[in-house]
Amino acid sequence: MDKYRLDYLEQLESEAIYIMREVAAQFEKPALLFSGGKDSITLVRLAEKAFRPGKFPFPLVHIDTGHNFPETIKYRDNYVKSIGETLIVRYVEDTIKSKKMTEPKGKFASRNGLQTYTLLDTIEEFKFDACIGGARRDEEKARAKERIFSVRDEFGQWDPKRQRPELWNIYNGKIHKGENVRVFPISNWTELDVWTYIQKENIPLPGIYFSHDRKCVLTKENQLVAVSDFIQIDESDTIITKRVRYRTVGDMTCTAAVESEASTIDDIVKEIKISRISERGETRIDDKVSEAAMEDRKKGGYF
Amino acid sequence: MHILKFITAGSVDDGKSTLIGRLLYDSKSILADQLEAIEKQSKNVAEGEIDLAILTDGLRAEREQGITIDVAHKYFSTDKRKFIIADTPGHIQYTRNMVTGASNSDLAIILIDARKGVSEQTRRHSIIISLLKIPYVLVAINKMDLVNFSKEVYDNIVEEYKTVQQQLDLKQILFVPISALAGDNIVDKSNQMPWYKGEPLLHILENVPVNSDVNITHGRFPVQWVIRPQTEELHDYRGYAGRITSGIFKKGDVVTIAPSGLSTTIKAIETNNTEVEEAFSPQSVVIHLTDDIDVSRGDTIVNKENPPIITQDIEMILCWMDSKPLEVGSKYIIQHYARQTRCVIKDIEYRLNVNTFEKEQNVQSIQLNDVCKVTVKTAAPMVVDSYAKLRTNGGAILIDETSYVTVGACIIQ
């Protein structure tokens, strides 16, 4: 009997491929949101498994805040070229200019909130009816409540009290004009599952995930934020060079580095296995605003 | 390593969220920063005790009301197994969310408050678990610390629940006395209850067989998507992409396309972008056929042996999930995996009283959270199996034709 049983990672992979194909079949204009982070890179590998030797039935879309790590952008462009798929990039900078938006001010002012506007505009521009994203339920407690197919109204809003029942693995993607669905094929994966999969599949990653020397500001909360033009550095700040890596890849303004010697995927898997701190807790400055920070952003149209 | 998916069901204050918190806490799956956040919030709850329920109640409204509204998924693993927990709501108005969590589970933990015994909600949850054919049921009698760890209290509840078990024909069932709050019989055997000879809860979760209902005899492959690159070098490539929901398919197998009934042979099977000799459920694969026949999304490729039922008249148990009532003559969209068509409710045979398990006849309309037996007629033939025989091909959903909301869970008879 064991001959006909899948290992847990194969089970998760098969489920994700199944979900991707449901998106391709049920929607007219889907898109895959690709940031160059490990989760969306995993999605791309899964899409290759779902649709090769055909082309992806959707473009990759990146909402570029302008505050990305240059390594990520370089990786993004090279990777997309290597797999021969289409990439659409839309810039938060353009939204700010065209809509005369106010940029948040302060020391680590983040465009993370403004990103939602650009995303919603992009969805409207291309009439995307489904956006595949790499969010996982283990990341955060509001995300633990998400369906695989998450229906958003025309303002992109998530209504956690009125989610559709989601039975077995039958996904109801029927929506009205103007609405869209956010689809999360790796909902049931944990951070360690993603890393183990990257290791198994030998997927190339941006260099910032691996140990390197970096000049950082040490914040009051003891987080290490990379020195860049996007953050405000005061005279009282301590600037130190540390051996670090990034456990998640967001903007330079809202992602903190972790001290690490892990220079290969194998090292990283070992490190994650013994880590006693969650990835968002360790690296995300934007989640620390309030108890319901993520829930509020999701209600507003964020992922 | 394998995955065990389980739900926790029980009444409002039976301590479901606390049990999950305890499992995560004792298996060291709560990370330092998460624990710090819980401790911060717990201060005004009880003296010194951290409120483990905060872990799963992820929405603001849930924390405010102290109840669970929607399913929260939690993940943890031990050296033996990976676990996916669906923490489901106890309140009757959120039953549909419980059904959502239950539909994908291999095991259900039913919590019973030792002071209260079997309640209405215990019965309602048990009935849903029995309808959805969750293979294993673990009845956890909780708050034993509040009844002085009394064997007599425990024995009485076990007896009481056994009547429910018989009425519902629940087969594989285990009982365990616990205190989720204090941690008795969760990870380690409790010193307080030497009379309990069984294993602690986590040990049971680690050792209960998974995929015990895996089917290797009834090949079903619903076609999701057709891969046709139409490039020069892959001019004739036509692959049927989908996930095998049950059974095994081998290169060279003679298969039938349902519902059309056309017969053909499997030319090749691909998985991971490479050719393989055979594939089995739940693998996502691409199948190539020898003959150039009409096959598209919604068709199912099936084995010659053990064929499915092809029908337009379907008898089903229905869990109704909409505030708009269902009546004879109501029309809906029915979705059965990759196949969608319209259907009409022909007859309501009975409504199941979830407290007495009585089948109530002559019912005119079905309300939110009712369970009933109905007959529907579909606009096109469906390729189905009885849910009792083949769980992976016996479920379907009803979708409202104008709101597009999922309104019913169909368990095909």
Of A49, A170, A291, the CB nearest to B395: A170
Is residue A99 predicted with pLDDT exceeding 60? yes
> Does A18 reach chain B within 8 Å, measured CB to CB?
yes
How far apart CA B299 and CA B193 sit, in angstroms, is 56
Q: What is the pLDDT of residues A219-267, one digit of tens each?
A: 877 788 887 877 787 778 888 888 988 888 877 777 888 888 999 999 9
> CA end-to-end span of chain A, whole Å?
40
Q: Do A144 and B96 touch (CB under 8 A)?
A: no
The label of the residue with tokens 């798929």 reads: A85
The 10 Å Cβ neighbour count of residue A156 is 22
d(CA B179, CA B217): 42
Residues of A in contact with B214 (CB under 8 A): 1, 4-5
List alpha helices for B250-379, DSSP H.
Answer: none
Which residue shows structure tokens 């196949």?
A: B339
Our CA-based measurement puts residue B221 at a distance from the nearest CA of chain A, in whole angstroms, of 12
User: Closest-CA residue in chain A for B321?
Assistant: A165
**A-B contacts at Cβ under 8 angstroms:** 169
- Write down the domain spans for chain A: 2-193+292-299, 206-288
**Best residue in A48, A170, A191 to probe B by mutation, most B CBs within 10 Å?**
A170
Q: How many CA atoms are closer than 13 Å to the CA of B2, on its beta-carbon side?
A: 15
Query: Considering the domain A2-193+292-299, what is its CATH architecture?
Result: 3-Layer(aba) Sandwich (3.40)
- Residue B307 phi/psi, 5-degree rounding, is -70, 155
Q: Does the pLDDT of residue B47 top 50, yes or no?
A: no
Q: Which residues of A touch B72 (CB under 8 A)?
A: 141, 144-145
Q: What is the ipTM of this complex?
A: 0.91
* Structure tokens that stand for B31 in this block: 């990370």
- Of A11, A25, A13, A9, nearest in space to A171 by CA: A25
Q: How many CB atoms lie within 10 A of CB B68?
A: 26
Q: How far is A1 from chain B (nearest CA, A)?
A: 9
The three-state secondary structure class of B339 is strand
| Confidence class for position A288, pLDDT limits 50, 70, 90 | low
Chain B residue with minimum CA distance to A55: B229
Which residue on chain A is closest to B240 by alpha carbon? A51
Pair B24, B76: CB distance under 8 Å: yes
The overall average pLDDT reported for chain B is 89
Residue A145, φ and ψ in degrees, nearest 5? -95, -5
Contact A298, B58 (CB under 8 A): no
Q: What's the rounded mean pLDDT across residues B29-38?
A: 72
Residue B399 token pair: 């979708």
CA separation, residue B232 to residues A49, A52, A54, A112, B267 (Å): 21, 15, 12, 44, 21
Least confident interval from A90-94, A234-238, B258-262: A234-238
pLDDT digits (tens, 9 = 90+) for A41-62: 999 999 999 999 999 999 999 9
Specify the DSSP class assigned to residue A162: G
Query: Which residue of chain B is at minimal alpha-carbon distance from A8?
Result: B2
Q: Which of A158, A147, A197 is nearest to A43 (CA)?
A: A197
Of A21, A161, A282, the CB nearest to B225: A21
Q: Which run of H or E residues covers position B316? A: strand B309-320
In B, minimum Cα distance to A3 occurs at B280
Tell whether A175 is within 8 A of chain B (Cβ): yes
Cα separation, B196 vs B150, whole angstroms: 10
Rounded Cα gap, residues B389 and B133, in angstroms: 10
Give the pLDDT score at B243: 97
pLDDT at A297 over 70: no
Instruction: Give the confidence band of A68 by pLDDT, cuts at 50, 70, 90.
Output: confident
| Distance of alpha carbon B286 from alpha carbon B274, whole angstroms | 10
> For residue A124, is pLDDT > 50?
yes
The nearest CA of chain B is from the CA of A161 a distance in Å of 7
Mean pLDDT across chain A, nearest whole number? 86
B96, B232, B397, B401, best to mutate vs chain A, most A CBs in 10 Å: B397
Which range, A270-279, B70-79, B166-175, is most confident? B166-175
Does A25 lie at the interface with B, CB-CB under 8 angstroms? yes
Q: What is the pLDDT of residues B167-214, one digit of tens each?
A: 888 888 999 999 988 889 998 899 999 999 999 999 999 999 887 667
Say how far apart CA B186 and CA B196 lie, in whole Å.
13
Query: Which of B125, B156, B127 shows the shortest CA–CA distance to B16?
Result: B125
E strand or H helix that includes residue B268: strand B262-271
Contact call for A53 and B227, based on CB within 8 A: yes
Decide if A260 contacts A229 (C-beta within 8 A).
Answer: no
Domains of chain B: 2-207 (3.40.50.300), 220-303 (2.40.30.10), 309-412 (2.40.30.10)
How far is A280 from A115, CA to CA, in rounded Å? 18
Buried-state track B109-142, b at ≥16 Cβ within 10 A, e below 16 = bbbbbbeeebbebbbbbbbbbbbbbbbbbbbbbb
Question: Is A220 at the interface with chain B, CB within 8 A?
Answer: no
What pLDDT was estimated at residue B141?
95
Residue B220 tokens read as 């079903």
Contacts of B104 in chain A (CB under 8 A): 168-169
pLDDT of B49 > 60? The answer is no
| Higher pLDDT among residues B216 and A222, named by residue | B216
User: Burial, B209: exposed, middle or buried (Cβ in 10 Å; 0-12, 13-18, 19+)?
Assistant: middle
pLDDT score at A286: 59
Residue B342 · residue B382 · CB < 8 Å: no
End-to-end CA distance of chain B, in Å? 34
Residues 39..58 of A with a Cβ closer than 8 Å to B: which? 48-55
Q: Do A172 and B397 touch (CB under 8 A)?
A: yes
- Angle at which helix A38-51 crosses helix A8-26, to 10 degrees, equals 70
User: Which of B401, B378, B396 shows the shortest CA–CA distance to B259?
Assistant: B378
B260 to B99, B218, B294, B302: CA distances (angstroms): 33, 18, 9, 11
